[in-house]
Amino acid sequence: MSISHAPPNAPDPDISRISKSESGEAARADATDLDLQPVVPASARNLPVPRWLRRTTGPILLLALWQLLSATGVLTPDVLASPGRIAQVGWDLISDGSLPSAMGTSLRRVALGLLFGTSAGTGLALVSGLFRIGEDVVDAPVQMLRTVPFVGLIPLFIIWFGIGEAPKIAIITLGVTFPLYLNVYAGIRGVDSQLIEAGESLGLSRWGLVRHVVLPGALPGALTGLRYSLGIAWLALVFAEQVNADSGIGFLMVQARDFLQTDVIVVCLIVYAFLGLLADFVVRSLERVLLQWRPTFTGR
Amino acid sequence: MATDVHRPVTPATTRAVHVEGLTRSFDGRTVIDGLRLDIAPGEFVALLGRSGCGKSTLLRILAGLDRDIQGTALVPRRRAVAFQAPRLMPWKKVWRNVLLGLPGRPERNVAEQALDEVGLGHRVDAWPRTLSGGEAQRASLARALVREPDLLLLDEPFGALDALTRIKAQRLVGELWQRRGCAVLLVTHDVEEAVLLADRVLVMDDGRIAHEQHIDVDRPREITDPRFAALRAGLLERLGVNTAAEAA
């Protein structure tokens, strides 16, 4: 036994412990004999299973359960088709070209609706955000129109625009315009007045202030608005395509409903979900590029 | 009353700033009341005063940011401001911030030179929000100096800095002023800072210049100088701070 804390001039280091426990020195030496336990590093306890595998386990188990219920006949095909069947139908729809062409039609509608909607929303927001007179003229009517549920306008739009592409695109446009307007407007009005003053003191012109201070400052709000708008664009698409459509994903779904093809309906829902994810990815990438100055932005 | 604002000073006059009968009221409350002030070219003037005495308002008027005034205020066409907060545009890299608002299409190396001058040459490409407080304030100074101002307006530029950074920043401003030779108006509430840097210290009270003190101590000045302590005590008394009580 070694006692590291024994004083250098200790008379006899080898005396018995009992006699030594009288002094504080010996008590400290005894402390080293406590029952020590190793602290196990957190990483050592982890199972050697990669995270992505663990994260996919849940969905895969759910799929397996679904397949099991379908195979045992608890879930009948007219309630919900089995996953295997859905994969088969999805592949068939892709290979006979009906799904790609429907997707093309739907994407075109969303793209056009987004284009018109973002132009209108941003344009109106710029007018009312940048000019006081613009605010007086534009903001009140826009706030009034905003409260009208745009889906309720479908009958009116069909009367106005017929049953072609125009009413569908108009519905998407309307749905996209307002969230974008609100966010861009709030973004412009939320720009730090201290920065605007600094810009003025640097001799920026009115247009220079808008370009270098106001618009970049409104960009985070505008991108939030764009995200909302994309979500609403898909929603509006679903509504628009289920009324009087003769092409597009919504049309495929309506047709499938008439023939009780739950497999086709699920395939279409998956396509919607996939397109939504894709749109979100696009906005995220935009934010990554345009908002890299923000320290709150931690993605990389 | 004649309102003659921001006319360029002709070379014949020997004043960088001429203010006469300047009045500014906020909703009937007069903050600046018939103020008179002249600053010579190349002069370093510090403006002291209790908070709310109108010293920042005066600076904003001279900067051209506040135009609801009566009276005469003549300032040079080329003037620059450094605020208490650096007020850098967070969406522009440091060097673009420095060049912001310069006429024409200035080259990047113009910004690099200015940033080198304030010792920030290594952060040219940084985003403003990644700068420390002192670095951001120096970038703000570079942005002011790159305009080659005849009048530099400093609105408590060291107020938000920690004590050590403040000493460095004060020294830097002193050096830059001696090199550039522009007139400086420093608004501050720090008496020591005023005495350390300025040729002339003004105390503002009730919307007027209530007291004027020339500082004849040689540069570089040391806080340990006995004249320094006397000047400091005198100014503090003017500001209504009882130095005897403070010392006790």
Q: Is B5 among the domain residues?
A: no
Q: Does A211 touch chain B (CB under 8 A)?
A: no
Give CA–CA dist A187/B156, Å, rounded: 30
Do B168 and B224 fall within a single domain? yes
Do B175 and B106 fall within a single domain? no
Do B96 and B114 fall within a single domain? yes
Please tell me the predicted confidence (pLDDT) of residue A294: 81
Please tell me the predicted confidence (pLDDT) of residue A29: 52
Do B207 and B93 fall within a single domain? no
For B77, residues 6+ apart whose C-beta sits below 8 A from its C-beta are B6, B8, B9, B150
Please tell me the predicted confidence (pLDDT) of residue B202: 93
Do B156 and B229 fall within a single domain? yes
Which domain, by its residues, includes B59?
43-69+149-240
Do B128 and B186 fall within a single domain? no
Q: Is B247 among the domain residues?
A: no
Tokens of A282: 């696009």
pLDDT at A1 over 50: no
* Minimal CA separation from A201 to chain B, in Å: 7
User: Interior CA angle at A190 toward A187 and A193, to 5°?
Assistant: 135
Q: Is B210 among the domain residues?
A: yes
Q: What is the ipTM of this complex?
A: 0.83
Q: Is B179 among the domain residues?
A: yes
Q: For chain B, what is the radius of gyration of the CA atoms?
A: 18
Q: Is B35 among the domain residues?
A: no
Do B191 and B118 fall within a single domain? no
Please tell me the predicted confidence (pLDDT) of residue A163: 81
Q: Are strands B70-74 and B183-187 parallel, antiparallel or unpaired?
A: unpaired
Please tell me the predicted confidence (pLDDT) of residue B10: 47
Q: Looking at chain B, which runs of residues are DSSP E strands? A: 4-5, 17-26, 29-39, 44-49, 70-74, 79-82, 151-155, 183-187, 200-205, 208-214
| Residues above pLDDT 70, as percent of chain B | 92
pLDDT band at B227 (very low <50, low <70, confident <90, very high): confident
Q: Is B182 among the domain residues?
A: yes
Higher pLDDT residue, A298 or B58?
Answer: B58
Do B169 and B233 fall within a single domain? yes
Burial of B203 from C-beta contacts in 10 A (0-12 / 13-18 / 19+):
buried
Give CA–CA dist A134/A124, Å, rounded: 9
Instruction: Look at the block and give the residue holding tokens 């000019």.
Output: A131
State whether A293 and B63 contact (CB < 8 Å): no
Do B99 and B119 fall within a single domain? yes
pLDDT band at A6 (very low <50, low <70, confident <90, very high): very low
Please tell me the predicted confidence (pLDDT) of residue A125: 94
User: B141 with B172: CB under 8 angstroms?
Assistant: yes
Please tell me the predicted confidence (pLDDT) of residue A39: 85
Please tell me the predicted confidence (pLDDT) of residue B3: 46
Higher pLDDT residue, A49 or B143?
Answer: B143
Amino acid at B207: G
Residues recorded for chain B = 248
Please tell me the predicted confidence (pLDDT) of residue B159: 83
Do B65 and B174 fall within a single domain? yes
pLDDT digits (tens, 9 = 90+) for A74-107: 888 888 888 888 999 999 999 999 899 999 999 9
pLDDT digits (tens, 9 = 90+) for A191-230: 999 999 999 999 899 899 999 999 999 999 999 999 999 9
Handedness of CA A266, A270, A273, A275 (dihedral sign): negative
Where among B132, B147, B162 does a domain terminate? Answer: B147
Please tell me the predicted confidence (pLDDT) of residue A136: 92
pLDDT band at B4 (very low <50, low <70, confident <90, very high): very low
Q: Is B16 among the domain residues?
A: no
pLDDT band at A50 (very low <50, low <70, confident <90, very high): confident
Residues recorded for chain A = 300
Amino acid at A213: V
State whether A202 and B83 contact (CB < 8 Å): no
Measure CB to CB from residue A194 to each of B85, B127, B129 and give the nearest one.
B85
Best of B62, B75, B88, B91 to substitute, by most chain A Cβ atoms within 10 angstroms, is: B91
Please tell me the predicted confidence (pLDDT) of residue A33: 73
Buried b (16+ CB within 10 A) or exposed e, B33-69: eebebebebebbbbbbbeeebbbbbbbbbbbbebeeb
Where among B124, B147, B170 does a domain terminate? Answer: B147
Measure CB to CB from residue B89 to each of A197, A213, A294 and give the nearest one.
A213
User: B157 with B83: CB under 8 angstroms?
Assistant: yes
pLDDT at B248 over 50: no
pLDDT digits (tens, 9 = 90+) for A9-28: 545 555 555 544 444 454 45
**pTM, whole model, 2 decimals?**
0.76
Please tell me the predicted confidence (pLDDT) of residue A243: 78
User: A202 with B98: CB under 8 angstroms?
Assistant: no
Please tell me the predicted confidence (pLDDT) of residue A110: 93
Instruction: Look at the block and give the residue holding tokens 């309102």.
Output: B3
Where among B129, B147, B165 does a domain terminate? Answer: B147
Please tell me the predicted confidence (pLDDT) of residue A108: 93
Q: What phi-psi label fits residue A244: left (phi over 0), alpha (psi between -120 and 50 degrees) or beta?
A: left
What's the whole-number mean pLDDT along residues B59-84? Answer: 91
Amino acid at A39: V
Higher pLDDT residue, A189 or A21?
Answer: A189
**Domains defined for chain A, CATH in brackets:** 79-290 (1.10.3720.10)
| Residues above pLDDT 90, as percent of chain B | 52
Q: Does A207 touch chain B (CB under 8 A)?
A: no
User: A174 with A151: CB under 8 angstroms?
Assistant: no
Do B153 and B235 fall within a single domain? yes
Q: Does A212 touch chain B (CB under 8 A)?
A: yes
Please tell me the predicted confidence (pLDDT) of residue B101: 87
Tokens of B204: 């503002």
User: B173 with B141: CB under 8 angstroms?
Assistant: yes
Could you tell me which chain A residue has the CA closest to the CA of B128?
A: A293
CATH of the domain at B191: 3.40.50.300
> How many independent structural domains does chain B possess?
2
* Minimal CA separation from B126 to chain A, in Å: 9
pLDDT band at A49 (very low <50, low <70, confident <90, very high): confident
Do B180 and B228 fall within a single domain? yes
